[in-house]
Amino acid sequence: MAKSTVTPATDQTPAADLLLKFRDKVYTSRTLCIPDTNRTLSVAKGFVEVSASDEQAVTYLKSHPEIEPPE
């Protein structure tokens, strides 16, 4: 009789991506258009949230003069 082996299941769920919250210093609500793309980012209640892995959006927001990066 062959011995059965039990292999523990590994967690296949990806970890939740970290969100960065940027503050709009001028407007409480607006739409930001990322240059040279068809992408937009929405500012709501003075903030815009993007995934930390979204390099394009993070780079754009960090370089925007009216947007304050997270602390």
- Written as one string, the DSSP assignment of 31-58 is EEEPTTSS-EEEEETTEEEEETT-HHHH
SS3 56: helix
Greater model confidence, 4 or 71: 71
C-alpha 35/C-alpha 10 separation (Å) is 41
Residue 13: pLDDT above 60?
Answer: no
Q: What is the pLDDT of residue 24?
A: 98
Question: Does 14 have pLDDT greater than 80?
Answer: no
Asked whether the whole model's pTM tops 0.85, one would answer: no
| 21-59 pLDDT, tens digit each | 999 999 999 999 999 999 999 999 999 999 999 999 999
